[in-house]
Structure 1
């Protein structure tokens, strides 16, 4: 199933077009489900509509930022968007909107971040005597142009370059950079390496946790103690990427599987005291995974260590 992406624009929408045409390839992991704008006259809207993409626009003038962003958010959710791609969206977003799409919204910026946030990036690079300008794709956070950078392309600054001539070449680089970066981003939640990294960070944050390899799988336990979690990818050819955690027994295992048989399963060779939680469905609740790991850790932790953890959490 392809990830559903909404694109926000304010003008010509050339980066939107790059994403749209990349999405036409059979192997592209995303599809554009909506192009929205704060400028009803944005030329990119006409292009998107002509290509059969749903569009929506409303001028933000006369509305406060929170109210306008709530309206945009409503349209994105009506369109079924999983992710948001900002493509020349010339409007600062409200903290509430950013929070609503935390970890699922990207932006492309015409500089090699963290250099030259905001506007006039090309002139700033030229004035600084830089050898390269460029572009960056980053995850959107409340601070302008400050989120984690996913990919960058440097673009050489030529003798005699103006801001306009440099901008024209950087725009070509943007069109090349944004589609594959978005494609990689929307598929990462099914990537075994990325999933292992997330699970490992949560497991190793628990007191006295260590990691070893057991039964051919990364395994997390308490130092010189029992194991509380296993990470499994296609183990015994089952086609799953999952986390195995301790549970109370057969009744809890059966209840979980009955509640959500796609997500929970009985792991082979582990018995009734464990449950498998699939991580490769694309909608993992990592706060819930952290809770599962903590409960599993508590199930095997020595009483003294568990008591210390409980006491620490009270403060």
Structure 2
């Protein structure tokens, strides 16, 4: 399979969820590998486990340091290790806004409740006291607000008669170990999935004035309300194995210029190509979405009524 995505895990204690990720990564088909385990506590038990498994570790106490200053040190270690995504696994320290921003949409956390219920601490006691039938765990994207990012996956855990916070926590931990690796695997591969790419294109296309969507020959297509099409989303069209967005150009000359300048991205679509449309591949990884937005906007302008285009 392709090179595995490099993960950095932040811990503060025993790191049992980190260990679950490490073991999941050993499976040949797992799309990620843990390349660094870092901690704000040099005595964290999980560090010894990571070292025994041959994983690089870093630790430094945060005491006496400003939050952003300490986070900058952790950030530098993650980047030095080539980390692409960060997984928090019992990291008991609030992160600075600067750190969260630098890893925006590249950092996830596992939380022992069914979010949005019971953000913060004492989640099991609060669920029992509320008379809930289920506790559970959630994996979410990390945002500046505590436990408030988009939820990527959840597992409910039944609350039994006589449960205490400790007995419930023990079962929820089992669920956490099952959930985290699966959600992380989906998260780090999402940008290669056609449905995710379509949602990105859809958000950009429908963000343009009076843009609407409908199927055209089975393909999601975007047009000005009551007017002409300015973009098509194409996936494996007639078995070509390509995922792309098709946009208008000013004509064959511009189409040829774009393809000559960057043939890894641009290509001539077999059905619309003769009329000057160009395909932009989205399946090569590291898509420049600002450039996609630029081409979508240019295509939209070519079909938008002059009065509408003049105001955008």
Fold agreement, TM-score > 0.5:
yes
Structure 1: which 5+ residue stretches go unaligned?
Answer: 310-315
1:57-72 counterparts in 2 under 5 A? Answer: 57-72=59-74
Structure 2: which 5+ residue stretches go unaligned?
Answer: none
Secondary structure of 2:58's aligned partner: strand
Q: For residue 264 of structure 1, what is the aligned residue in structure 2?
A: 266
Aligned alpha-carbon RMSD (Å): 1.6
Q: For residue 313 of structure 1, what is the aligned residue in structure 2?
A: none
Secondary structure of 1:173's aligned partner: helix
1:286-297 counterparts in 2 under 5 A? Answer: 286-297=289-300
Cα deviation for residue 147 of structure 1 reads: 0.4
Partners of 1:69 and 1:272 in 2: CA distance? 53
Indicate yes or no: 2:285 matched with 1:274: no
Cα deviation for residue 112 of structure 1 reads: 0.7
Cα deviation for residue 162 of structure 1 reads: 1.2
1:1-315 counterparts in 2 under 5 A? Answer: 1=2, 2-269=4-271, 270-271=273-274, 273-309=276-312
Secondary structure of 2:178's aligned partner: helix
Partners of 1:236 and 1:31 in 2: CA distance? 35
Cα deviation for residue 279 of structure 1 reads: 1.7
Cα deviation for residue 168 of structure 1 reads: 0.6
Please list the CA deviations of residues 165-196 of structure 1 after superposition, one character each: whole Å capped at 9, or x if unmatched: 11111100100010111111111111111211
Q: TM-score, structure 2 length as denominator? A: 0.94
Partners of 1:220 and 1:250 in 2: CA distance? 21
Cα deviation for residue 63 of structure 1 reads: 1.4
Please list the CA deviations of residues 42-92 of structure 1 after superposition, one character each: whole Å capped at 9, or x if unmatched: 111111111111111111112111111111111111111111111111111
The answer to whether the 8 A contact 1:35-1:53 is kept is: yes
Partners of 1:131 and 1:41 in 2: CA distance? 37
The answer to whether the 8 A contact 1:19-1:178 is kept is: yes
Q: Which moved more, 1:85-94 or 1:240-249?
A: 240-249
